[in-house]
Homo-oligomer: A and B are copies of this chain.
């Protein structure tokens, strides 16, 4: 299953008074991971929204295994593990430069119109994402 890797540096604003990354920011990193997965698949999420297809998060789970700190270089490895006409699931690993697992998790999504009503994703998009996922 195709994995897309994105790199980022921990921002000072992402730390908390424990001196480590505040846990909720990992969800923002997951969002960056699926943004880059969609771009790599040829359907940037910004374009999908402009065409009227929204993919809000309905569910999230994450496990925080090791600490990361300000200015650390981290990698987000993203896979789409489920794709249906009604929604999809992404899975994520966050790793440091020596490949230690910092966190992993998953997000569940539904496809909606701009008002939030569930819709089926256009067949052309589903096929394209599927082809990329299996490439």
Q: What residues make up the interface of A, taking CB atoms closer than 8 Å to B?
A: 9, 11-13, 15-20, 22-25, 27-28, 31-32, 35, 44-46, 49, 54, 56-65, 67, 69-71, 116
Can you give 29 contacting A-B residue pairs, CB < 8 Å?
A9-B35, A11-B32, A12-B17, A12-B31, A13-B16, A13-B24, A13-B31, A15-B16, A15-B17, A16-B17, A17-B19, A17-B69, A17-B70, A18-B54, A18-B116, A20-B56, A20-B116, A23-B60, A24-B27, A27-B27, A44-B71, A46-B69, A49-B70, A57-B64, A58-B63, A59-B63, A59-B64, A60-B61, A67-B116
Leading 3 A-B pairs by shortest Cβ distance? A24-B27, A15-B17, A46-B71
